[in-house]
Structure 1
């Protein structure tokens, strides 16, 4: 695969084992059971001998035509964890990616920053920025290591280590040149100063992220989340064409609410996804690691920071840059991850559904390999319904809701092989989704079945190239 081109080289002799059809409704003669596939042949000759109704359809192979010279662009809705595993592989293919992330996380060290200093949650944004950061030099690696460092769980040890870092005496500064050192230290010191000014609050450094502290210091100094992202991007040398975008550009605290089908209201992303009862240890999002929800999730929404019920619902505006990117990218991706607390918070905002529905481009859902607390019992079509309802704002203010069908928002589904989420082909077809593709997977000891990063990006690459060649 040629570096910097989203798609296989036209001179490559390899044959992609995946078949993609043009983005239009298939013939009624194709039954839904034929639409979840890969082709297993490793060569054109072998694949052409297979007996399949799909072979009668019009097919375009990206390797059979010249690839457009411009590198396609993607917009990815994701949280700060699950999609990180494929970012490195995606960077090898294209850096023209807009990463859209929520700013409502209230867990981990982010929760402590928000509790004491207020403002939006920056943990997911910091996490993605680090994954995109430069690794080409020893200094770049040193900066990445510093900003990716977490303090010990023991609060006393964490505080002592933090003082060594902010005073410039920690070994983490080794390999960081003076200009970088003084720039980063200035904002860490500013963060420390802001904590000391809140004399009525005692800040807990346990498991704290140095990157989060730097980010928070920059945001407070500039009074701008966008400015803090810009600074972090330059310090960590993120490619200029890669955008890390908060779905809401704000300097205020945001609180996520959740309404269950039994009428229960849950306040706070952490309480919805993985309650920790105030503990600061690393989070385990496996559905078996915490108690089940009393009922399935009906919708998520934003609420005032002190709110506790539906009367406190608020309606923040979507980041204009996100809407601008949606209007011009070549592909929209709903990444794997926490469906209701990582993906849907970016979809429920006014203008997001309208923008996505208006585009005739690949709109791809990356299905989770396993269930978590939020999605226990959901099938693939259930994931599609949740995303459609979020984009249509189905259960919010009826005046502001949309009536678009699922196929306006999703037209392809990528499924990790041997995943635990049932893929109900007939239900997907009834939703107007006729393309579901198996992708090679790996077994992660912590979270179970996940996409094989290289295979996932290869399939996504072929899909985007196929559409651009039509």
Structure 2
């Protein structure tokens, strides 16, 4: 057997190639995304109409919102972003069990009283609540069984206000499967017909830690993103993992073999828009990720945020590319050529609100190609249009 690398001239967008994928999405390409949060959910919903084989490695490091309550109660990885991506890729048509989709996306009232919320949860566990009663057996028994594990383990003072039922089911399955995420994610995927593969990049109860340019250390993703607390007042200089959200305990995570195989199988690797440090770079921190990316010779695409990101204060486009490359090279142990880690930067200069410029000299020195094409719609805001972005990426495969 001989390995041969074949290159071609790509048209972006390529209507014929995209149309072919749309006709047979079950045979679509294996696009891999390193992401977390909700920034990619719109693209994921559109992507499932072109391919059922996309791969999503998601950060389990969120330390805010409803995920924080579950993490504090059970010392577990964050599952909110995983559940969100699973739902974005779920078949919500009549063929995909929409009654299960409704249950998994339901949230308890934010202003509910504790006794009423517990009564609602008990009704869901027993199968008597309309949301669970609407699901036929044996699926209903299976779902209620996982939710029952959560109910049994739930601390007496657990705050159910605004809780996502999907998160509670995932937490119950995690507890029921010896503190492992993969089995319950697999089950969850089958229940809602997820069109793609979603997996946590690591299965550990770790947190994010950043060092600021002024020397301070900040622990916990919720303190980094600027969404739940005041934005950082100094630019971020570096990001690592910590074993604790409240104590600085540096730790190293390792990429699992099954995730290494997923990276090796990708036909295109995408560093997508979203929170630059806590979503994108966080996924690249585990030992082995950079090496796995480097070993795959498929196209690798960086898509900068099209509007300001609080985590990128003071960073221009060229610095973003440099930081991305530096993060990947940390794992490889030597200065590999940039074009072996990033081949393309994809953006829409005419409509995006990007900080700074990408000069020809900078890109030429790195061997990276700029693709400047229509990615933003007519809404008047510089946000990527999910369909335009999805079709641009599909054109490169």
Superposed, 1:418-437 pairs within 5 Å as: 418-422=351-355, 424-426=357-359, 427-437=362-372
Counterpart in the other structure of 1:77: 34
User: Are 1:108 and 2:45 counterparts?
Assistant: no
Which structure 1 residue ranges, 4+ long, deviate > 6 Å from structure 2?
A: 67-70
Counterpart-to-counterpart distance in 1, 2:255 and 2:190 = 24
TM-score normalised according to structure 1 size:
0.74
Is it true that 1:414 corresponds to 2:363 in the alignment? no
Is the aligned partner of 1:460 residue 2:397?
no
Report deviation, 1:262: 1.7
Compute the displacement of 1:166 (Å): 2.9
Matches for 1:181-330 after TM superposition, within 5 Å: 181-195=140-154, 198=155, 202-223=157-178, 224-239=180-195, 242-248=196-202, 250=203, 252-274=204-226, 276=228, 291-305=230-244, 308-309=247-248, 312-330=249-267
Measure the CA separation in 2 of the matches of 1:117 and 1:433: 44
Which of 167, 180, 187 is residue 139 of structure 2 equivalent to?
Answer: 180
Structure-1 residue corresponding to 2:296: 359
- SS of 1:425's equivalent in the other structure is coil
SS in 1 for 2:210: strand
How far off its partner does 1:383 sit? Answer: 2.1
Change (3 A) 1:462 1:276: closer
Instruction: Tell me the secondary structure at the aligned position of residue 265 of structure 2.
Output: coil
1:380-419 aligned within 5 A: 380-393=317-330, 401-416=333-348, 417-419=350-352
Kindly state the Cα deviation for residue 178 of structure 1 after the two structures are TM-superposed. 2.7
Q: Alignment partner of 2:383: what SS? A: strand
Contact kept? 1:443, 1:449, Cα under 8 Å: no
Q: 2:44 is matched with which residue: 81, 87, 94? A: 87
Task: Give, in angstroms, the shift of residue 336 of structure 1.
Answer: 1.1
Q: Please give the residue correspondences for 1:430-445 in structure 2 after superposition, counting only pairs within 5 Å.
A: 430-442=365-377
Q: Which blocks of at least 5 consecutive residues in structure 2 are unaligned? A: 1-6
3-state SS of paired residue (1:274): coil
SS in 2 for 1:245: strand
The whole-number CA distance in structure 2 between the counterparts of 1:136 and 1:275 is 33
Q: Is the 8 A contact 2:96 2:192 kept in 1?
A: no
**When the two structures are superposed, what TM-score results if normalisation uses the length of structure 2?**
0.87
Q: Is the 8 A contact 2:96 2:193 kept in 1?
A: no
Q: CA deviation at 1:213?
A: 0.3
The answer to whether the Cα contact below 8 Å between 1:191 and 1:217 also exists between their aligned partners in 2 is: yes
Aligned residues: 379
The verdict on how the C-alpha distance between 1:275 and 1:94 changes in structure 2, with shifts beyond 3 A counting, is closer
1:213-272 deviations in Å (ceiling 9; x for gaps):
000000110112111111111222224xx2111111x2x411111111221111101111
Which structure has the greater CA radius of gyration?
A: 1
Decide whether aligned partners of structure 1 residues 422 and 403 sit closer, same or farther in structure 2, where only a CA change above 3 A counts: same
Residue 91 of structure 2 is aligned to residue 134 of structure 1: yes
User: Partners in 2 of 1:88 and 1:374 — Cα distance?
Assistant: 26
